Chains A and B, each alone.
Chain A
Amino acid sequence: MLLSVSGSKAGLDVDLEVAIDADRTGDAGVPHGVELMAFATAANRRNEDLPAARAALKAVVGAEGLLEAAATVAAFNGLVRVADGTGIQLDPSMLTSTSETRDALGIDLFGGAANSVGAPTKQRFEADGTQGLFA
């Protein structure tokens, strides 16, 4: 969802199917998307493509861009395990707003989907009206 929303805000036509499927080709509508996804895939699989993918990404986004990409892969390797290990439900706003997209992309078939069956759909907000993430 954050990919779609931030992409839309930036005026990009993001292709989520390409974004989540390593067998598809293309940049998913994001600048340097080919290099970013190749790096993320190779890092997660720890395969022999990683050194070349790292070098290719660094060539187009620079050393700090590579650092940000590595940090993101790392953060989500942890976040996935926290989410799946504690059996959290999808947040109300995500549950309602991503229903069609999840169905179209096959995400509802992931095992963790069972945790959100019957989850509340009413929004939870702080007093200032925001819903934060580690804020």
Chain B
Amino acid sequence: MGNVEALIDQAIRAGQKSLAAAGDWLTGEQRLAAALEARDARTNELDLARRNALSPNAVSGKHRATEHLPVEAVEVLHRIASDPGRLTRDWANDMIAALGEEVYTELVGIAAKTAALDMFAWAMSDSDATFRTSGDPDRGEPARHRPQTVGDVGAWVAQSTGSGMANVSRSLSLVPVTNQAWVGLVQALYSRGDGFLDLEWKRALSRPQVELVAARTTAELECFY
């Protein structure tokens, strides 16, 4: 196994493990349930109908609460997983009012990590990633810690203030446990630390080749950022 393959493999395994471990405000059981809800959004009939409608609000119907997650959490996971380009601040404000800012942000991180892990598995082998779906999730307790250094920087949720990092880099900073696992995954898959600032990567793909794949992906997902 080459260095890059080993780096990515290790990050994928860590990412999978973190989805079944206690997080910032959610237990391992809740996080694993959340990851599976996010995955379900790809084939869920209500999500598909919303995705195909001119406006997602034009489709009647609601998601249901599960054993481990309230209805608003299920809604957040499905919308972020299935139709991220048409989320609005009003919708987010409603969800945040029901769930709390920290739990909302943790759910965003879980949906994002699930999307990344499943997409990597699909891109390489036409199958979803392996999550622990049986047995006991980790029994640890959530950290339940809100950082002192977050505030309003113009996003829908509080983020680190005074940082020179790109906004996307601090977007999950409200939930440090989730953020640490997320950053580790993105580092391995794409940015790789200080090398990100170098426009001439010495990788199997050149920097323009990597950015071309990134540009096509973000266009497919209609992402403005």
Contact = CB atoms under 8 A, between A and B. Distances in A.
Nearest to B170: A88
Interface string B136-176: 00000000000000000011110100011111110110000
Contact of A115 (B124, B185, B224): B224
Q: How large is the interface on A (under 10, 10 to 19, 20 to 34, 35 or more residues)?
A: 35 or more
B100 interface: no
B217 A31 contact: no
B207 A86 contact: no
Contact of A74 (B88, B89, B189): B189
Given A77-B116, A116-B224, A132-B169, A61 B208 contact: no
B124 A67 contact: yes
Q: Is the interface of A mostly helix, strand, loop or mixed?
A: helix
Given A67-B5, A72-B210, A85-B84, A51 B119 contact: no
Contact of B92 (A31, A33, A66, A87): A87
Given A44-B221, A87-B157, A132-B166, A82 B172 contact: yes
Interface stretch (B20-28, B61-69, B195-203): B195-203
Given A72-B214, A76-B218, A80-B221, A65 B87 contact: no
Contacts of A88: 154-155, 159, 167-168, 171, 225
Interface in B183-225: 183, 185-191, 193-194, 196-197, 199-200, 203-225
Contacts of A119: 154
Contacts of B224: 90, 107-108, 110-113, 115-116
B191 A133 contact: yes
Given A81-B84, A91-B166, A135-B193, A110 B222 contact: yes
B123 A54 contact: yes
Given A70-B123, A74-B116, A81-B112, A132 B84 contact: no
Interface of B: 2, 4-5, 8, 42, 76, 80-81, 84-89, 92, 105, 108-109, 111-113, 115-117, 119-120, 122-124, 126, 154-157, 159, 163-169, 171-172, 182-183, 185-191, 193-194, 196-197, 199-200, 203-225
Given A10-B208, A67-B124, 8 more contacts: A21-B219, A22-B220, A71-B188, A78-B182, A79-B186, A80-B85, A81-B84, A130-B164
5 contacts: A3-B215, A64-B204, A77-B119, A87-B87, A88-B168
